[in-house]
Each structure stands twice: as structure tokens, then as C-alpha cells.
């Protein structure tokens, strides 16, 4: 059995004070939003509880699906790197960026450089240059494929985009891993499809192309964050619905309900010529204690 931990949207703080030059950028909007809706900080109680519970379940690997920062400042990127180092070595942890990590133009270079070891393909493990997407890492019978939907957007927007060339390469990686009989896990920050039509300002703008690629080339699981809520949707696979699982923010301050700080464990077992996947959501309940909130089982091929 392979146990994969999935954590997302930790939005590490503290948010630094803004410089006068930031007043002309999108960061002003971000700062106002952050003050209004969030009080996450590096090493928040909730995040510490979530990470220690995750560790206690001894995952074989941990995936972090983006939004490690709030406004993509240099200090936040450095904090996030320190946090990644504490979470685990690159052989044990894989990360991808979210829209907050690409908050302003130029932020890409920071995550591609500072977080590269956690975003490298197996081929690049010996020499890590700037991270490139998509990348693929093989862990036993599991292939982790990291996609970036992180793009700088206009103020008040939180959309994502994968793009044509990344999608093309994703198809090749899915074919390669599929031919090897691996359990293919795609990591992407934005959900492949939003259910709420009023949320267009935060959707994956080329979601249709992404879903078509996954449908045609196959995958066993899609993991995402972004919505800060526990959610399950599906992409129509060739043999049935393919699960897309979203987790809440790992550092949310709420207790209880689908938005409470939490994470998921994905237990992958190879059997009967396919795989059985058990998804276990754990989060902080009203009492402040962390516990199991939901569990579901899937059988591939999808």
C-alpha cells in the first residue's frame, strides 16, 4: 500500500508590511483581502496540528498543491522554503505553485528557483535547475505529475491557466505512465471544474482543454486546492468517473465543517489488475481535535 498525504493552501505568513512601491501593484488589493478574510501565519496552531497528525499517519509521500504564500513577496517565498524543508526532503515531498505564488509578474522566477528541489522531475534530481512544468516523479507504482496553473492575474481575479504546451506535454507523461501501469496522480492548484457558475473569477480558464486531455490520456486521481473546502468532483474517464479531490486550507482558522483546516490521505493498493483507492479526509472538529471527517473508496481503471 502506498499512502499519499495531500496538503494545500497553507498561505504561510506573516504578511510583511508593504513598501510604497507596492501601492501601485496588485498587492494592495491582496493586503486588504488578507486583512479582511485571513489570519493565517507561519506555524499557526491549526497548521501545526494538521502537519503533526499527517506525520503520525506515516505517509510514503506528501503532495502540497499550491498557495504556499499570500502575496508572493521575497520574504514569503523564503518562509515557504523553510517550511518545505521542515516538512520533508524533496524525495519525500512534492509541491506545485498556486495563484497566490504567482501573485505579481516576476513571482514565477522565485518559486521556480527557490522551491525547485520539490518540483523537479526524477531526471532532474541530480542537477536541479529552475522548476519546469509539467514534471513527473515516480514513487513505486505511483506517478506524481505536477502541473502549474499559477498565472499572474488582474486585481480581484484568481483564475488559473495550464496552457497549450503544458497540456501537450502532460498528455505525453500520462501516456508514458499509463503504459508502465502506474497509478497516475495529477497535482494542479485549481479544481478542473468549478461547480458554482458565479465563481468564474477564480476558475481554470482552460479547464475544458485540461479535462479533455485527462479524459483522453487517462489518469487515476486529480488532487487540487484553491477552493479552501473539502470537495470531490469527477472527470469523465474512459471507463467511468475519475476522482478529483480538493482539500481545505491546511491553516484555516475555522473548526468543524468542510472548511476547517485539514488534509487528505490517499491509500493506493494494487489489486485485481487495477488499483483500489481509499480517500480519507481528516480535519479539525468543533472541539479543536483533529479527526476523520469523510472516507470514500474507488476502484480503477476509470
**DSSP letters along 105-146, please?**
TTHHHHHHHHTGGGG--GGGSSS--S--SSEEEEETTEEEEE
Residue 99 binds Fe ion (CB under 5 A): yes
Vertex 115: Cα angle to 71 and 13 (nearest 5): 35
The CA-atom distances, in angstroms, between 93 and each of 7, 72, 89, 191 are: 10, 21, 6, 21
**Sign, CA torsion 268/271/272/273:** positive
Cis omega (within 30 of 0) on the bond before 8? no
Which range touches Fe ion (CB under 5 A), out of 3-11, 104-112, 161-169, 207-215? 3-11
Nearest approach, Cβ of 90 to Fe ion (angstroms)? 23
Which range touches Fe ion (CB under 5 A), out of 40-48, 77-85, 149-157, 226-234? 226-234
- How many residues of this chain interact with Fe ion, rule: CB under 5 A? 5
Rounded Cα distance between 43 and 39, Å, is 12
Nearest approach, Cβ of 226 to Fe ion (angstroms)? 4
Other Cβ atoms less than 10 A from the Cβ of 52: the count is 10
Residue 161 binds Fe ion (CB under 5 A): no
Which range touches Fe ion (CB under 5 A), out of 23-31, 218-226, 240-248, 280-288? 218-226
Nearest approach, Cβ of 189 to Fe ion (angstroms)? 6
Residue 226 binds Fe ion (CB under 5 A): yes
DSSP code of residue 20: G
Residue 227 binds Fe ion (CB under 5 A): no
Which residue is closest to Fe ion by CB?
67
Residue from the set 9, 53, 206, 220 that interacts with Fe ion by CB under 5 A = 9
Which of residues 257 and 274 has its CB atom nearest to Fe ion in the complex? Answer: 257
Nearest to 80 by CA among 9, 151, 162: 9
Q: 187 and 131 in contact (C-beta within 8 Å)?
A: no
Nearest approach, Cβ of 194 to Fe ion (angstroms)? 12
Residue 206 binds Fe ion (CB under 5 A): no
Which range touches Fe ion (CB under 5 A), out of 1-9, 105-113, 136-144, 172-180? 1-9
Residue 67 binds Fe ion (CB under 5 A): yes
Nearest to 145 by CA among 159, 127, 162: 162
**DSSP letters along 84-101, please?**
HHHH--TTTEEEE--GGG
Which of residues 94 and 99 has its CB atom nearest to Fe ion in the complex? Answer: 99
DSSP code of residue 28: H
Which range touches Fe ion (CB under 5 A), out of 25-33, 37-45, 93-101, 286-294? 93-101
Residue 70 binds Fe ion (CB under 5 A): no
Residue 98 binds Fe ion (CB under 5 A): yes
Which of residues 67 and 267 has its CB atom nearest to Fe ion in the complex? Answer: 67
Point out which residues bind Fe ion (CB under 5 A).
Answer: 9, 67, 98-99, 226
Amino acid at each position: 500500500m502506498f499512502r499519499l498525504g495531500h496538503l494545500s493552501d497553507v498561505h504561510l505568513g506573516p504578511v510583511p508590511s508593504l513598501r510604497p512601491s507596492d501601492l501601485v501593484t496588485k498587492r494592495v488589493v491582496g493586503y486588504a483581502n488578507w486583512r479582511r478574510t485571513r489570519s493565517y501565519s507561519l506555524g499557526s496552531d491549526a497548521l501545526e496540528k494538521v502537519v503533526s497528525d499527517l506525520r503520525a499517519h506515516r505517509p510514503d509521500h506528501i503532495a502540497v498543491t499550491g498557495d504556499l504564500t499570500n502575496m508572493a513577496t521575497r520574504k514569503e517565498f523564503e518562509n515557504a522554503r523553510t517550511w518545505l524543508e521542515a516538512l520533508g526532503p524533496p524525495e519525500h515531498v512534492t509541491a506545485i505553485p498556486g495563484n497566490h505564488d504567482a501573485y505579481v509578474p516576476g513571482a514565477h522566477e522565485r518559486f521556480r528557483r527557490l522551491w525547485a528541489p520539490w518540483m523537479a522531475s526524477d531526471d532532474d534530481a541530480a542537477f536541479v535547475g529552475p522548476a519546469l512544468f509539467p514534471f513527473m516523479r515516480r514513487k513505486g507504482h505511483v506517478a506524481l505529475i505536477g502541473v502549474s496553473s499559477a498565472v499572474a492575474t488582474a486585481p480581484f481575479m484568481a483564475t488559473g491557466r495550464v496552457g497549450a504546451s503544458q497540456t501537450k506535454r502532460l498528455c505525453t507523461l500520462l501516456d508514458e505512465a499509463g503504459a508502465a501501469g502506474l497509478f497516475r496522480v495529477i497535482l494542479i492548484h485549481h479544481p478542473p471544474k468549478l461547480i458554482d457558475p458565479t465563481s468564474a473569477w477564480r476558475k481554470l480558464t482552460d479547464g475544458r482543454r485540461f479535462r479533455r486531455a485527462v479524459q483522453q490520456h487517462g489518469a487515476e486521481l486529480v488532487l487540487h486546492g484553491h477552493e479552501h473546502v473539502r470537495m470531490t468532483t469527477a472527470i469523465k474517464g474512459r471507463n467511468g468517473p475519475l476522482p478529483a479531490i480538493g482539500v481545505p486550507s491546511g491553516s484555516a482558522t475555522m473548526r468543524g465543517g468542510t472548511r476547517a483546516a485539514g488534509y487528505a490521505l490517499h491509500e493506493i493498493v494494487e489489486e485485481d489488475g487495477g488499483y483500489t483507492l481509499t480517500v480519507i479526509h481528516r480535519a479539525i472538529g468543533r472541539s479543536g481535535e483533529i479527526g476523520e471527517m469523510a472516507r470514500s473508496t474507488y476502484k480503477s481503471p476509470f
